[in-house]
Amino acid sequence: MKKLLAMTAVAALAMSTNVFAQDGEAVYNKACQVCHAMGVAGAPKAHDAAAWEPRLAQGLDTLVATVKAGKNAMPPGGMCTDCTDEDYKNAIEFMSK
């Protein structure tokens, strides 16, 4: 019974990360805009489709991995301390349009 409860709790937690994914604009406003609004240290500017095009060609999973590892002046995870992969994807999609 304990094992079943634990498995149910893990499944519920996994589902909650998708159900409660943060909106891309909200993630951008709280964490990304610091650098991506002005293109600080070579960061692609938000809503500059041409700057994002070659990055998007790498695929969202690659971009998320880059955010999580950090790149150049961007620290690992960017400036978001509570973002999931889905949150990062939402923010990238928001910034790239």
90 lies in some domain: yes
88 lies in some domain: yes
pLDDT band at 20 (very low <50, low <70, confident <90, very high): confident
What is the DSSP secondary-structure string of 27-64? HIIIIIHHHHTTTGGGPPPTT-HHHHHHHHTT-HHHHH
Q: What global pTM score does this model have?
A: 0.79
Is the distance from CB of 80 to CB of 16 less than 8 angstroms?
A: no
The structural domain count of the chain equals 1
- What CATH number did the domain enclosing 44 receive? 1.10.760.10
22: helix, coil or strand? coil
Range of the domain at 66: 22-95
54 lies in some domain: yes
8 lies in some domain: no
User: pLDDT tens, 36-83?
Assistant: 999 999 999 999 999 999 999 999 999 999 999 999 999 999 999 999
Q: 71 has which bridge partners?
A: 74
